[in-house]
Structure 1
Amino acid sequence: MYPLLFRAVLSRFEPEFAHHAAMVVIRVLGAPPFSWATRALTSPSTEQRVEALGLAFDSPFGVAAGFDKNAVGVRGLAALGFGHVEVGTITAVGQDGNPKPRLFRLVQDRALINRMGFNNAGADAAVRRLEKLRRRRPKTVIGVNIGKSRVVDVEHATADYVASTTKLAPLADYLAVNVSSPNTPGLRGLQAVETLAPLLRAVKAAAGPTPLLVKIAPDLPDEEIVAIARLAVSEGLDGIIAHNTTISREGLATDPEIVEAAGAGGLSGAPLRERAMAVLEVVRAAVPSEFCVISVGGVDTAADVQERMDAGATLVQGYTAFLYRGPLWARQINRELARINAAKRR
């Protein structure tokens, strides 16, 4: 039903408008009495619970950062069956992001190109929303993804991240340091180990007991990924998120003219599947077995999620396939995961 609706109706809307419209529906689904009915249909089985980062996740499958930038749809996303919601990217200073249009569908590839530019209302606005969420039940595992404010020069990035951390860490179940978006000038340069080490050290000190992870780019050479992974371990971080969107356009089925017209930005969706698996394997081999590794990129089906778990992912996140699969995506994955695991036990 949903694929027909997407082809006939939703694909005709401008992508960012369609996303905002979907968020309105998701917010409604997260409010009683709709949330009660939604959870009854979508809640994962207790057998799917995962212990990680000192937290209990109802399902290993969650929503990646970028879908809910301002923490407005957390309850609705949880009601739809996602085991955790990573909100953001949130910056210390609110910002509009890059000029529109900045989100483009590559339907033939089941992919997106975005150059959103960390559009969000800022840390203070996020604090107010997170405080309300923390007062309500049922509780949802909420990760908070933080990035550099555009108005802040790269040389002052550490202080900017610390400012966000000080406000948001007390309200986050875990904190993710985003130094890997391709849409903020100079940001990816912070992944250099000599630059990243003092930044992570300062953020960890500000985060206190809140688990801290770093989100990396898929476009790094494997040896640099290993270096960051080892740095994360040595600096006492709790995990790595692998990975962000890619600037590569290799192997796309979409007409090259359409891809070129979309312009710069990060590519997400099905084309990242192979690289995401490769990065996961590189990271997993470089860190201790108890170190949390969240795998992101090209996840579409329960088989994809299970493949990541079998390859050593602690948790798995998705985003782009939500657009192509529809609101029952998490429910479908959770139910199929239950069947896969039941078959393994037989």
Structure 2
Amino acid sequence: MIFAPKALMPLMRLMDAETAHKLTIKALKAGLVGAETRPDDAILATRMFGRTLANPIGLAAGFDKNAEAVNEVARLGFGFVEAGTVTPRPQSGNPRPRLFRLTPDRAVINRMGFNNDGLEVYLENLRRVDKHRVVFGANVGINKEGAEPERDYPALVSAVGPYADYITINISSPNTPGLRDLQGEARLAAILSGIESSKPVFVKIAPDLADDGLEAVISVCVQHGVAGLIVSNTTIARPATLKSPLKRETGGLSGAPLFAPSTAMLAKAYKLSAHKLVLIGAGGVFGAEDAFAKILAGASAVQLYTGFAYQGPAMLRPLKIGLAKLLRERGFGSVEQAVGAGL
């Protein structure tokens, strides 16, 4: 069973967002959050990354930047866990405050700036991950200063490869200057051409890519043997529907307002990739219907972050029960059968 977090969520919201996040990581490491011991519905089992996942719901990168609590997070009931973004050298990120809750919008704006303890600490933490029980993804990025993307990404992929089931190349955070420029055809091709990996490599893209930019990314990824895309990272757009007074803060917007644009981009990517890439849907998932919509739009798996930050671990079981129910109601016998069926 999962203990305490649901009751503690209102208290956590009284703290500033970054302090609450740090306390959550500490609570997980201390074993104070408990674990989900009930098995998942068999209809949710799916095959990805060369592993069988008990369910297609994963935790996105950004929550556990240093891979400190991967085992503990996995015990909450996730089908897979992604940790990072890790950079070659430690960096403190942007000045605080840099993480903002837009509560009326069920959204978050962050301008963290890849704050992490660096590759050496990350690798040390990965040595403690239970490879038999945890399906794990390593998310890698570059330092704000002194970076050489064509050198750094291949080196990072090589370093984390022995510990990961898949590796995600983050070229789409809006909080590292120039990073999103790496989504351009020539730069991305140069990076990917230097990568050698026996593990599946995914590229995480921005929801703000134009249609021709998306087409170019997909073409380059297919040419260079990339396994798939994560659609999508946070957005720099600010929808007119935002109500929070914090809506003008600089950074990437995530949460409910990202659901529609990220799902639309997911559907485009599914059509353009023509089954040559595996897609993971991220952005604005708060419940079973959101997850199901991502799968119907072409996602083989779904990631949570902001929804998890707002609702805590207690969201996972009803989400999975609801997703199993939706699959059966629509006549699907597995997650795989539903992938892209809405298109």
Q: Does the aligned pair in 1 maintain the 2:100–2:246 contact within 8 Å? A: no
Which of 145, 148, 153 is 1:151 aligned to?
145
Percent of aligned pairs sharing the same letter: 38
SS of residue in 2 equivalent to 1:309? helix
Which of 246, 257, 264 is 1:258 aligned to?
246
Cα separation, 2, equivalents of 1:216 and 1:23: 26
Deviation at 1:160, TM superposition (A): 1.4
**Residue 91 of structure 1 aligns with which residue?**
87
Instruction: Confirm whether residue 39 of structure 1 aligns to residue 33 of structure 2.
Output: no
Deviation at 1:342, TM superposition (A): 3.3
Cα separation, 1, equivalents of 2:331 and 2:214: 35
Instruction: Confirm whether residue 62 of structure 1 aligns to residue 62 of structure 2.
Output: no
SS of residue in 1 equivalent to 2:280? strand
Cα separation, 2, equivalents of 1:10 and 1:237: 39
Change in 2 beyond 3 A, CA 1:137/1:51: closer
Deviation at 1:246, TM superposition (A): 0.4
Change in 2 beyond 3 A, CA 1:217/1:163: same
Instruction: Confirm whether residue 227 of structure 1 aligns to residue 223 of structure 2.
Output: no
**Residue 300 of structure 2 aligns with which residue?**
314
**Residue 310 of structure 2 aligns with which residue?**
324
**Residue 167 of structure 1 aligns with which residue?**
159
The RMSD of aligned alpha carbons is: 1.9
**Residue 142 of structure 1 aligns with which residue?**
136
Deviation at 1:3, TM superposition (A): 7.3
Which of 214, 228, 238 is 2:227 aligned to?
238
SS of residue in 1 equivalent to 2:127? helix
Q: Does the aligned pair in 2 maintain the 1:181–1:266 contact within 8 Å? A: yes
Deviation at 1:142, TM superposition (A): 0.5
Deviation at 1:138, TM superposition (A): 4.7
SS of residue in 2 equivalent to 1:104? strand
Q: Counterpart amino acid of 2:319? A: I
**Residue 110 of structure 1 aligns with which residue?**
106
Deviation at 1:226, TM superposition (A): 1.4
Deviation at 1:290, TM superposition (A): 5.3
Deviation at 1:324, TM superposition (A): 1.7
Query: Over residues 6-29 of structure 1, what are the superposed CA-to-partner deviations in whole Å (9 max), with x where a residue is unaligned?
Result: 44x222101000011111222234
Cα separation, 2, equivalents of 1:12 and 1:162: 42
1:273-284 counterparts in 2 under 5 A? 273-284=259-270
Deviation at 1:340, TM superposition (A): 2.0
**Residue 117 of structure 2 aligns with which residue?**
121
Deviation at 1:77, TM superposition (A): 1.5
State how many pairs are aligned: 329
Tell me the TM-score normalised to structure 1 length. Answer: 0.90
Which of 247, 251, 272 is 1:286 aligned to?
272
Deviation at 1:94, TM superposition (A): 1.2
Change in 2 beyond 3 A, CA 1:24/1:4: closer
Q: Counterpart amino acid of 2:234? A: T
Query: Over residues 31-82 of structure 1, what are the superposed CA-to-partner deviations in whole Å (9 max), with x where a residue is unaligned?
Result: xxx85xx2314x4223211112322111111001101111112112111111
Q: Does the aligned pair in 2 maintain the 1:152–1:160 contact within 8 Å? A: no
Q: Counterpart amino acid of 2:37? A: A
Change in 2 beyond 3 A, CA 1:304/1:79: same
Q: Does the aligned pair in 2 maintain the 1:48–1:59 contact within 8 Å? A: yes
Structure 2: gaps (5+ residues) = 333-343
Cα separation, 2, equivalents of 1:143 and 1:57: 13
Q: Counterpart amino acid of 2:13? A: S
Q: Does the aligned pair in 2 maintain the 1:80–1:331 contact within 8 Å? A: no
Cα separation, 1, equivalents of 2:282 and 2:175: 18
Cα separation, 1, equivalents of 2:56 and 2:288: 11
Tell me the TM-score normalised to structure 2 length. Answer: 0.91
Q: Does the aligned pair in 1 maintain the 2:222–2:276 contact within 8 Å? A: no
Q: Counterpart amino acid of 2:229? A: I
**Residue 326 of structure 2 aligns with which residue?**
340
Deviation at 1:325, TM superposition (A): 1.3
Instruction: Confirm whether residue 50 of structure 1 aligns to residue 42 of structure 2.
Output: no
Deviation at 1:345, TM superposition (A): 4.2
Q: Counterpart amino acid of 2:30? A: V
